[in-house]
Amino acid sequence: MEAYDRTEDKRFVDVFKNVFKDSLITIPRNYMNFDINNKKPITVYRGDRDNDIFLTTLEYMTEMVILSTLDNIVAGRASGISAVNMMTNGFKNKYYFFLGRYGVVGDA
């Protein structure tokens, strides 16, 4: 996987489901199948459902609220996890990895 792949990419969900089976809990959401070769920003990927922008935002915010209730977290250092940190009283254990500015092609 390359640095510009997105967490909303269905490939990541499939890998985690394969490894963790029934112990993985996800919320129902519209994951995307990104083409890593065209390097388009996430904003150009839209689902074909009514109210997609609203629903995508609701799904993302729901995940952030759920993440803020955890005791431990491993995550990429991106804007979403920064918001999660503001919504929590802190994590017992945390690890953040940083691979550059995610989604900004040519800027690492």
pLDDT in tens, 32-89: 666 666 666 555 556 677 888 888 888 889 989 999 999 999 888 878 888 999 999 8
Which structural domain range is residue 72 located in?
10-97
Neighbours of 1 (CB within 10 A): 10
Q: Is residue 103 part of a domain?
A: no
Q: Which element (helix H / strand E) includes 75? A: strand 72-76
User: Whole-prediction pTM value?
Assistant: 0.66
Return phi, psi of residue 79, to 5°: -65, -35
Q: Which of helix, strand or coil describes residue 26?
A: coil
Q: Is residue 20 part of a domain?
A: yes
Q: Is residue 105 part of a domain?
A: no
Q: Is residue 107 part of a domain?
A: no
* Number of folded domains that form the chain: 1
What contacts 43, CB < 8 A, 6 or more positions away? Answer: none
Could you tell me which of 22, 107, 17, 76 has the C-alpha nearest to residue 31?
17
Assess contact for 76 and 97: CB atoms under 8 A: yes
Q: Is residue 108 part of a domain?
A: no
CA distance 30 to 20: 20
72-76 and 93-97 beta bridge pairing:
parallel
- pLDDT, position 4: 41
